[in-house]
Amino acid sequence: MTKKYEITIGIECHVQLSTKTKLFSEVDNDARGKEPNSCVSPVDYALPGMLPRLNGEAVKFAIRAGAAMNAKINARSRFDRKHYFYPDSPKGYQITQFYSPIIGAGFIELPSGKKIRIEHAHLEGDAGKLTHYDTYSLVDLNRVDTPLIEIVSMPDISSAEEARDYCKELWRTMVYAGVTNGDLYNGNMRFDVNISLKLPEAKELGTRAEIKNLNSFRSVERAVEYEYSRQSKLLDQGEKIVQETRGWSDATGKTTPQRSKEAAQDYRYMPEPDLPPLNLSSEFIAAEVARLPLLPHDYRAKFRGTVPDDLIEILLDYPSLSARLAEVEDSADKKIVKRLANLFSSVLLAEENASLLNDKLPEAPQLIELCTMLEQNELSSTAGKEVFIKLFEPKHAAKSPRDLAKELNLLQENDSAALEALVASVLEDPATRQAQADYKAGQAKVLGFLVGQVMKASHGKANPAAVSEILKKQLA
Amino acid sequence: MKIADKSTSAVSLVKAALDKAEKYQKTHHIFNWLNQDALRQAEEIDRKIKNGEPVGRLAGVPYAIKDNYLSRQGETTASAKILTGLSAPLDATCVEKLEAEGAILIGRTNLDAFAHGSSTENSFFGPTKNAKDLSRVAGGSSGGSAVAVALDIVQFATGSDTGGSIRQPASFNGVFGIKPTYGAISRYGVVAMASSTDVLGFFAQSAADLDLLMSITAGQDAKDQTSLPDFYGTKDEKLEKQKLGYVKEFMESPALDPEIKAALEGKLTLARSKGFETVELSLPTLEYALAVYYIIQPAEVASNLSRYDGIRYAFRSQKGKDIASVFSQTRSEGFMRENKRRIMIGNFVLSSGFYDAYFLKAAKARTLIIDEFAKAFSKVDAILTPVSPNPAFKLGEKVDDPVSMYLEDVMSVPVNLAGIPAVAFPAGETKSGLPLGLQLLGPRRSDKNLLGLVEDLC
């Protein structure tokens, strides 16, 4: 359905960096499962006289994140203070990069091939967390000054689906770049979506609303859809859109106003006098860029033509699988890569094996050997899956798939004399007499039943194709 | 510096200091807190001396800290109600270094709350009186420290100088004071006033003592990323045949007290007799320094004071009913009038729409001041100027006239904006017996050379 109005969307995304320590102190940056206010230093809770100390690892992560977005890394950047009073902000200001960000213009290429331009991205500290109760509120400062990069896109996004695809691709890019844990449920990445509508012939963009703090791809998509219907209804009725900040509720599926532009705060930005400007040498930047691992588009380029496109996209959701597959791709031929992709998808992405994804994957040489055995009919596909699953068990993890298959007595029977004997014994079984008669009477379908009986007798080890040929010969 | 040794015990030094402190506290109101543990610490030093253990370059030396230095000893109040009740869990880097050398803390000295002021009258605990005249101000903001050294209670005291807060009280009370190069001493653990001009420094009774204190406390600190790589005393900086400049605009200023002018001319004559070449300099940009300073400094002050909201430590008003009123009530009751004035000015110059016209323009003018000093120091090795245009004024004289109080800083703030070092030193007295002080300015990192020159001129 073509829509009456064109949507223009720009997205700001906050990415929590998974550095060891905080952006401005030596305190543990990983507060998962820890007591409130236990990962807080005097610098973080803003004791007087405390000074921020820029974490070099966060700078390195920012360089990597920037390079992953095809962005220019600015050799010189600076920090600024953004002032506001709230108990989640112990200093009374956030240290950010308002005037001179570390990451310049870049782009994210969507799987569709469309490029969404990045305006800039900057380093800043996160705020603490408040929990409100009836008559009081509790403050947890564990998250204070967790390093963030805020990535600001250009208004290049033009549909709800594209907004979702952009967020997902950005998430993948950051996770593959190794700069964030990417745990959306715990707010590792949060999206602010700016949406405006206009008639196709209109030259100027419409007034925008900003939907704050979305933390899933689905809610980004739904919020944009909701905003389209809300704003288009208003426009249809000749009403004006108010420039404002809105919140999204997953439960109601609606956005509601939070703050209008008139009530917008004046942040009184000021250069941060406690931190000298950040000057990065081109060697330092180059060394960090060189550390960038393979990114989603690199994997697509590697697998395209070998693995079906939709399976590539599924595997990209699992960085460890894509990485192992790429490793295999480096030293094995396409058939093996394709087999392994299918094995990953049929075993690991099946509900009942989901827990295996948390375990250590078998090594590339093991996987190559396993897929080669499958390719050469040394293992049936059922036996192959079994060997694959067993390789996750610590006691089997170091074994070669061939040894393991032998040990489990799963090697496929290809010896034709042995197979002929096996077939003959099945045909002598009175239980197969009726089927033999039906086959001879022209019911070709029953051959499958007979093959199954032979396979059963072989405990799954017989090569079904060979069995089928022998059966046909013996029944002819 | 008189340090404890086999002939003089630390206990006797500390006991004398404590006795004097208590005596003068009644008349001059110098300390916000006195260290009841000092004698025990002195005994510890004496025990080490007796056992032949190492005791450090300041063994048993009684000293005082300005009450904006964090230390595990006593509460750090910055003479502000809003910080009352704050027991710091750590020591400022500077305090740590002094105590590692065996210095013994006698007390915390009074200041204008958050160092906002030039008289120590803006203290929540009341004013400190001038060492020589109880009807006059101690100067400020490090008034308590200056008086503690002038009255020989302690051998040295720490201060902080954002726009003259060490040099002006030093000159009002007749002691030596150093405002080092910006970044020479780590600011870690000292309550911030205006971060881009704040420096820590000392009061002492001689330039040689200041030299010792600098060699102990200067140096890079990972906890302060604006601290400079070690430079103090890394080379012999005393130059032969130095050129001394003086500033035409200051000498011709109608505000300059004739007795101070005469003292300065006397020092120039002395310098020439000792073989110095003296050069008249014109530094016309300095006229704008005070205006620039009263934009940048309040902006940084407003920002640095944002953290005091009553939520996490120290004073909280009981009148707050929700988050917004806890903030506003705590800040309304906790800050002094002068603190609030600077918060208002600072937030005004930073507000959207005014930033370019005020803060940014001031930042650009600051660069011109830096350049003008750089040019001057291509011609001379040091510049001799008054510290303030007048000797110590009467208590209450300027309290209700903030602009006249700000003018106290007119000759001291250019130094802070440029980040250069300056040493204030006594230069005689007025006919009525008030101390007169002058200061010697040098290029960045010339701190040690300045102290040597001051010795030559005294």
Q: Which string of DSSP letters, residue by residue, matches B294-360?
A: HHHHHHHHHHHGGG-SSSSSS---TT--SHHHHHHHHHHHHS-HHHHHHHHHHHHHHSTTTTIIIII
For the record, the structure tokens of A260 come out as 């209008």
Cβ of A92 and B192 within 8 Å?
no
Q: Of B191, B299, B359, which is closest to A49 when you measure between CB atoms?
A: B191
Residues of B in contact with A42 (CB under 8 A): 89-90
Q: How confident is the model at residue A476 (pLDDT cuts 50, 70, 90)?
A: confident
Rounded to the nearest angstrom, the minimum Cα separation between B217 and chain A is 17
Structural domains of chain A, ranges and CATH numbers in brackets: 6-284 (no CATH), 294-407 (no CATH), 416-475 (1.10.10.410)
Q: Which one of B160, B300, B307, B316 makes the best mutation probe of the A interface by having the most chain A beta carbons within 10 Å? A: B307
Residues of B in contact with A49 (CB under 8 A): 68-70, 76, 88, 92, 187-192
Distance of CA A444 to the CA centre of its chain: 48
Instruction: Pick the range with the lowest mean pLDDT from A161-170, A190-199, A466-475, B199-208.
Output: A466-475
Q: How confident is the model at residue A262 (pLDDT cuts 50, 70, 90)?
A: low
With an 8 Å Cβ cutoff, is A42 touching chain B? Answer: yes
With an 8 Å Cβ cutoff, is B359 touching chain A? Answer: yes
**CA angle, B283 then B287 then B288, to 5°:** 115
Are A96 and A148 in contact by the 8 Å Cβ rule? The answer is: no
DSSP state of B36: T
Q: Tally C-beta pairs within 8 A across A and B.
A: 102
Q: Say what the pLDDT of residue A472 is.
A: 87
DSSP state of A307: B
With an 8 Å Cβ cutoff, is A88 touching chain B? Answer: no
Give the C-alpha separation, A58 to A120, whole Å.
Answer: 17
Distance of CA A93 to the CA centre of its chain: 32
Cβ of B306 and A91 within 8 Å?
yes
Residues of A in contact with B311 (CB under 8 A): 87, 90, 139
Q: Which residues pair with A194 in a beta bridge?
A: A10, A210
Q: Which of B64, B2, B60, B1 is nearest to B31 (CA)?
A: B64
Check pLDDT > 70 for residue A364. yes
**Judged by CB atoms within 8 Å, which residues 195-234 of A form the interface with B?**
none
Q: How confident is the model at residue A338 (pLDDT cuts 50, 70, 90)?
A: very high
Give the C-alpha separation, B446 to B458, whole Å.
Answer: 19
Return the amino acid letter for A312. Answer: I
With an 8 Å Cβ cutoff, is A92 touching chain B? Answer: yes
Task: Give the other-Cβ count within 10 Å of B135's Cβ.
Answer: 12
Pick B416 or A464 by higher pLDDT: B416
Residues of A in contact with B190 (CB under 8 A): 49
Cβ of A48 and B195 within 8 Å?
no
Active site residue ranges of B:
66, 141, 165
Instruction: Pick the range with the lowest mean pLDDT from A222-231, A269-278, A413-422, B217-226.
Output: A413-422
Pick A259 or B2 by higher pLDDT: B2
Mean pLDDT of all residues in A40-44: 97
Cβ of B70 and A45 within 8 Å?
no
Q: Of B68, B89, B225, which is closest to A42 when you measure between CB atoms?
A: B89
Mean pLDDT of all residues in A14-34: 96
Pick A425 or B146 by higher pLDDT: B146
Mean pLDDT of all residues in A74-82: 98
Mean pLDDT of all residues in A377-387: 87
Rounded to the nearest angstrom, the minimum Cα separation between A28 and chain B is 17
Residues of A in contact with B222 (CB under 8 A): 53
Residues of B in contact with A54 (CB under 8 A): 225
Cβ of B303 and A51 within 8 Å?
no
Look at the domain B1-458 and name its fold. Amidase signature (AS) enzymes (3.90.1300)
Angle between the B143-150 and B10-28 helix axes, to the nearest 10 degrees? 120
Provide the mean pLDDT of chain A.
93
Q: Say what the pLDDT of residue B273 is.
A: 95
**Judged by CB atoms within 8 Å, which residues 139-158 of A form the interface with B?**
139
Model pTM score: 0.91
Are A37 and A141 in contact by the 8 Å Cβ rule? The answer is: yes
Q: Say what the pLDDT of residue A336 is.
A: 95
Task: Give the other-Cβ count within 10 Å of B199's Cβ.
Answer: 25
For the record, the structure tokens of A361 come out as 């994957």
Q: Say what the pLDDT of residue A263 is.
A: 65
Pick A263 or B114 by higher pLDDT: B114
Rounded to the nearest angstrom, the minimum Cα separation between A220 and chain B is 31
Supply the ipTM of this predicted assembly. Answer: 0.96
Q: How confident is the model at residue A261 (pLDDT cuts 50, 70, 90)?
A: low
For the record, the structure tokens of A34 come out as 């820890």
Residues of B in contact with A266 (CB under 8 A): 351-352
With an 8 Å Cβ cutoff, is A264 touching chain B? Answer: no
Give the C-alpha separation, B170 to B164, whole Å.
Answer: 10
Mean pLDDT per 10-residue run, chain B (458 residues)? 94 98 98 98 97 96 98 97 97 98 98 97 98 97 98 98 98 98 98 98 98 98 98 76 93 94 97 95 96 97 97 95 94 98 97 94 98 97 96 94 87 97 97 97 96 94
